[in-house]
Amino acid sequence: MTASIHRTTCNRDCPDACGVLATVDDGVVTQLKGDPEHPVTRGFLCFRTSRFPELAASSARLGQPLIRRGEQLEPATWDQALGLIAEKLTQIRSESGPAAILHYRSGGSLGILKHLTDLFFDQFGPCTAKVGDICSGAGEAAQLEDFGVSDSNDLFDLCNSRHIVLWGKNPKVSNVHLVPVLKEAQARGTRLYLVDPVEHKSRSLADHAVQLAPGRDFELAMAIARQLFDSGRTAPAAASYCDHLPEFRALVESRTVVAWAKAADVTMAQVQLLADAFADGPTAILVGWGMQRRQRGGAIVRALDALSAISGNLFPSGGGVSFYFRRRKAFRPFGPTVQHPRVVREPVFAEDLLAARNPSIRCLWVTAGNPVAMLPDSANVAKAIDATEFVVVADCFLTDTARRADVVLPVPTMLEDSDVLGAYGHHWIGESRPVVPMPPGVRHEVAIFQDLARRVGLESFPQEPIDMLKRQALAEVAGQGASLESLRKHGAVRSPVADRLLFPAGRVFTANGRVQLLTQAPPEPTIEVPAAAAKASAPLWLFSNSTEKAQASQWATSLGERIGCTVHPDAVPGLAHGAKVRIVSPLGSIAAELVLDPAQRKDVAVVPKGGHFDRAQSANALIAARATDLGLGAAYLDCLVRIVPE
């Protein structure tokens, strides 16, 4: 049989939403390549996606439903699984009301049709819902407060920048299709700056790097702003488009440039360098997702928004503050917004789940997520899920969360899924199409909920075929060149509702059209220091960062026998490269192997993101559950650890 090429779109939790060409030979996916016709993907894929066929073909793949009988999850038919679920859902709703049912949907797949799972629970109840966003909650909330929207200029507008500041961003690992755009801009004369406490692969892209103290991005932004005010290089028109400019200036001038720089642990020369870049615009800030995952993460992003605004870089082509692209803007919602009887805050999920009363949470349904591995304080999350009466997980694999379920429902991988997608790293939208059929025992989540809706008597739940549901999602833009047929013809289409410049008229989308500048410094974070012990290191800031092989637990099938822990040699005197150690926090410890790197700061420890809890490799088992100041994000990076030799 001759091999054939099939086109689809990657639906994994990544900003790039790549166009993918799959080679299929005798029903087997033998290779994935980037679609050369996709203007962002440009014919290449990341390491993780290019090797996805190995994961999809793994023997660990779930091929039929599982039902817990006693202590074991045992194979079952779909009729048995859905019959049990329908019985339990209706029983719990009848006995305790819909507030006793919690639906948890996360970003394991970014397909728009996954929102139909929300619609089911809204119509069945409304039930208890999740609120907050552990990934980008603080940053999005900050920009909504400042600008009335969290979105970006066109990706390729960066080629019009004179300067680009990668602030806490590592595109070579977590946003790889941004890299060619940055190189094109540099070829046109753009200067690139990297601001990050951690030394990483993207350092090789930068013309200049500033390795500030962990969590001190706010102080550095204030130092740059003070330098601009002191030298008279702020935008003369800033008062015409900014509210609270006097209060913001008073905040900036509450310390000298030297004092702000000292608090950020940077030199005056570095502050001057960055201030010159902002004064010599257009200058774009590309905001990383990590630094807003702190207790004062919202204030950090607000400081960057303000810095862009007062320096005159917010509105011109080549400027802006890019944190997020509105990936759902082009799509029509499947249902109206409803009032939920109760919400569970995602960053403190275990606390809220265990504390729920009148009624307690009796049923938890997990869609496109693995909260045991994903959320802070993993052990307590596992405990809360174990204590829940009835748990359903839809997944491709037996994850940390699925192992604790009462029913596990096998769903398609990226290679078999059918959906439509936007991206949060650019403005192109695409279609996910199955390149091979689903295995016989696997069902699409739309089909699962359509069947379940019939079983529980939800006559209003959509029963249309998937292609019709895709067309409904695209209804607002279909007449503007983004119909389903257009996506199939071109592979990807730029969203017709995304302007080339986010603020082309020089006004933001707040109620009065003016930038809302922050006026107060955030309080110092509350962080517990691990107890001192014999031969233990000084406290180090823990960074759980994406790697080429592990951006989330959905990719991190194996991190080896032990995870690597990268530190400066002086942070662990007397310990050699490769030494067996334990990383200890106030919540517990995990085993690791030491990686010495003299390019790192002496106060950081870097481990891979996405480790599995049941393999004792999840950094989240060490991290306390705390919310960010805005947006109910999770303060993952506010964690101090010590390294202890074994």
Do residues 590 and 616 lie in contact, with contact meaning Cβ atoms separated by under 8 Å?
A: yes
218/220 Cα distance (integer angstroms):
5
Do residues 290 and 606 lie in contact, with contact meaning Cβ atoms separated by under 8 Å?
A: no
Instruction: Give pLDDT tens digits for 121-132.
Output: 999 999 999 999
**Once rounded to an integer, what is the mean pLDDT over residues 5-29?**
96
CATH number at residue 236: 3.40.228.10
pLDDT of residue 526: 94
Reported pTM: 0.97
Instruction: Give pLDDT tens digits for 487-542.
Output: 999 999 999 999 999 999 999 999 999 999 999 999 999 999 999 999 999 999 99
- Residue 94's Cα: distance from chain center in Å? 36
229/254 Cα distance (integer angstroms):
12
Do residues 431 and 17 lie in contact, with contact meaning Cβ atoms separated by under 8 Å?
A: no
More confident residue, 107 or 275: 275
Q: Does residue 173 lie within any of the structural domains? A: yes
315/338 Cα distance (integer angstroms):
36
pLDDT of residue 555: 60
CATH number at residue 590: 2.40.40.20
pLDDT of residue 2: 81
pLDDT of 553 strictly over 90: no
451/456 Cα distance (integer angstroms):
9
Q: Does residue 15 lie within any of the structural domains? A: no
508/307 Cα distance (integer angstroms):
15
Asked if residue 233 and residue 286 are part of one domain, the reply reads: yes
As a whole number of Å, the end-to-end CA separation of the chain is 55
Q: Could you give the C-alpha distances from 173 to 19, 47, 545, 546, in angstroms and in order?
A: 18, 9, 9, 7
What strands, in cross-sheet order, belong to the sheet with 4-9? 4-9, 19-25, 28-34
Asked if residue 102 and residue 232 are part of one domain, the reply reads: no
CATH number at residue 100: 3.40.50.740
SS (H, E, C) 78-124: HHHHHHHHHHHHHHHHHHHCHHHEEEEECCCCCCHHHHHHHHHHHHH
**Bond from prior residue into 359 cis (ω within 30 degrees of 0):** yes
Domain count, the chain: 3
Q: Does residue 248 lie within any of the structural domains? A: yes
**Once rounded to an integer, what is the mean pLDDT over residues 143-168?**
98
pLDDT band at 547 (very low <50, low <70, confident <90, very high): confident
Asked if residue 144 and residue 250 are part of one domain, the reply reads: yes
pLDDT of residue 554: 64
Asked if residue 367 and residue 304 are part of one domain, the reply reads: no
* Mean pLDDT score across all residues of the chain: 96
Q: Does residue 521 lie within any of the structural domains? A: no
pLDDT of residue 166: 98
SS3 493: strand
Which residue has 């995602």 as its token pair?
Answer: 346
pLDDT of 263 strictly over 60: yes
pLDDT of residue 550: 72
pLDDT of 558 strictly over 70: no
55/53 Cα distance (integer angstroms):
5
Range of the domain at 109: 66-131+337-421+440-477
Asked if residue 411 and residue 274 are part of one domain, the reply reads: no
Instruction: Give pLDDT tens digits for 370-428.
Output: 999 999 999 999 999 999 999 999 999 999 999 999 999 999 999 999 999 999 999 99
286/152 Cα distance (integer angstroms):
10
pLDDT of residue 557: 57
Asked if residue 320 and residue 222 are part of one domain, the reply reads: yes
Q: Could you give the C-alpha distances from 417 to 33, 79, 110, 437, 645, in angstroms and in order?
A: 17, 22, 11, 9, 46
Instruction: Give pLDDT tens digits for 296-322.
Output: 999 999 999 999 999 999 999 999 999
Which residue has 């030799």 as its token pair?
Answer: 645
Q: Could you give the C-alpha distances from 549 to 41, 49, 50, 53, 454, in angstroms and in order?
A: 19, 9, 11, 14, 41
**Cα maximum dimension of the chain:** 73
Q: Does residue 434 lie within any of the structural domains? A: no
pLDDT of 230 strictly over 80: yes
pLDDT band at 1 (very low <50, low <70, confident <90, very high): low
Q: Does residue 483 lie within any of the structural domains? A: no
Instruction: Give pLDDT tens digits for 470-499.
Output: 999 999 999 999 999 999 999 999 999 999
pLDDT of residue 69: 96
Asked if residue 622 and residue 553 are part of one domain, the reply reads: yes
Asked if residue 612 and residue 565 are part of one domain, the reply reads: yes
Asked if residue 309 and residue 179 are part of one domain, the reply reads: yes
Instruction: Give pLDDT tens digits for 36-95.
Output: 999 999 999 998 899 899 888 889 999 999 999 999 999 999 999 999 999 999 999 999
Q: Does residue 535 lie within any of the structural domains? A: no
Looking at the DSSP bridge assignments, the partners of residue 432 are 419
The answer to whether the Cα torsion of 478, 479, 482, 486 is positive or negative is positive
- Pairing state of beta strands 588-596 and 640-645? unpaired
Asked if residue 457 and residue 394 are part of one domain, the reply reads: yes
SS3 300: helix
Asked if residue 118 and residue 200 are part of one domain, the reply reads: no
Q: Does residue 9 lie within any of the structural domains? A: no
Asked if residue 635 and residue 510 are part of one domain, the reply reads: no
